[in-house]
Amino acid sequence: MHTFPLGSLSVHRIGFGAMQLPGRGVMGPPRDRAEAIAVLRRAVELGVDHIDTAQFYGPDVANDLIREALYPYPEGLVLVSKVGAFRDDKGGWLPGQRPDQLRSAVEDNLRSLDVERLGAVNLRLTDHPEAGADQQVPLEDQLAEMVALREEGKIAGVGISTADVAQVQQAIDQADIVCVQNAFSLVDQKDADVLELCRENGIAYVPYFPLGSAFPHMPKVTDNAAVRTVAERLGATPAQVGLAWLLAHRDNILLIPGTSRVAHLEQNMTVGDLTLSADDVAELETSV
């Protein structure tokens, strides 16, 4: 299956994540602006029709690059963003969980991308240790604001991120969500129950950390011995094998690998042509 529904829309299963386009720490201008623009344009040339971004990437940097590179946007391009956080002047990540903050963040994305409606917006839940009492908002109230934004035509679909099974089920019941963004990879399958719930309900599952945690001393798919063995046998990179396993694992998984380099983008986009045999999959899955 080369495509999967994102609500009423349909997208290719390999998209693009814009988080790596801004500078270090997802703050400030890109390392190479011309290369960042080239990455976005090449992604669309290669068939990407699903770009994941956020106004707080930069802030505004990722969205500004997307607009500069691709506006007026090609027909069928689905822009997906997320809300629930913002940045301080030093690049710190702060929670923005109140309904008024969610609304403001959606409108910031509309402004910076220069669109009237976003393909989907993920409500990114947070348990930030420094969150004040005003950030302890019932999920019911947050989802109600997201539904209101959808009814106003500002977003086509509601998604949720960093959510457990109970929260995802509530979001399905209350907001008829179209996607879930949670951490999931070959070496970290703790979210398997959420993935299965999404599959049962025809909801797209978009894993972040698809190659394992980005934090030091945490498991990495590319360090896994079986992944490296399979990659060598197939003439692929370990990262390509890790991404291909996700595509083979469940049909409702959508990938949004990110990069700031054209060559890396082109490597990622070939993953859809990489076929893992049943023996390959078994070898990978018995290694974790």
Would you state the pLDDT for residue 75? 96
Query: Is 57 a catalytic site residue?
Result: yes
pLDDT exceeds 80 at position 214: no
- Give percent above pLDDT 90 in the chain: 92
**80 within some domain:** yes
Task: Report the CATH number that the domain containing residue 12 is assigned in CATH.
Answer: 3.20.20.100
* Residue 101 belongs to some domain of the structure: yes
As a whole number, mean pLDDT of residues 183-197 equals 98
Check residue 1 and give its pLDDT: 61
Residue 35 located in a structural domain = yes
Say whether pLDDT at 95 is over 80.
yes
**242 in a structural domain:** no
> Domain tally for the chain?
1
pLDDT single digits (tens) 221-231: 999 999 999 99
Name the residue range of residue 69's domain.
3-215+251-260
| ∠ Cα 47 81 164 (to 5°) | 110
Q: How high is the pLDDT of residue 55? A: 97
Task: Report percent pLDDT > 70 for the chain.
Answer: 99
Which residues partner with 185 through β-bridges? Answer: 188
Q: Which two tokens stand for residue 114?
A: 């220069």
- pLDDT tens across 169-178, in order? 999 999 999 9
The amino acid at residue 164 is: D
HEC-encoded secondary structure of the chain: CCEEEECCEEEECECEECCCCCCHHHECCCCCHHHHHHHHHHHHHCCCCEEECCCCCECCHHHHHHHHHHCCCCCCCEEEEEECEEECCCCCEEECCCHHHHHHHHHHHHHHHCCCCECEEEEECCCCCCCCHHHCCCHHHHHHHHHHHHHCCCECCEEEECCCHHHHHHHHHHHCCCEEECECECCECCCHHHHHHHHHCCCEECCECECECCCCCCCEHHHCHHHHHHHHHHCCCHHHHHHHHHHHHCCCECECCCCCCHHHHHHHHHHHHCCCCHHHHHHHHCCC
Average pLDDT over residues 105-117: 98
Q: Is residue 220 part of a domain?
A: no
Per-residue confidence at 129, pLDDT binned at 50, 70, 90? Answer: low
Asked if the structure places residue 211 within a domain, the reply is: yes
Residue 158 within a domain: yes
Residue from 57, 71, 205, 208 carrying the catalytic annotation: 57
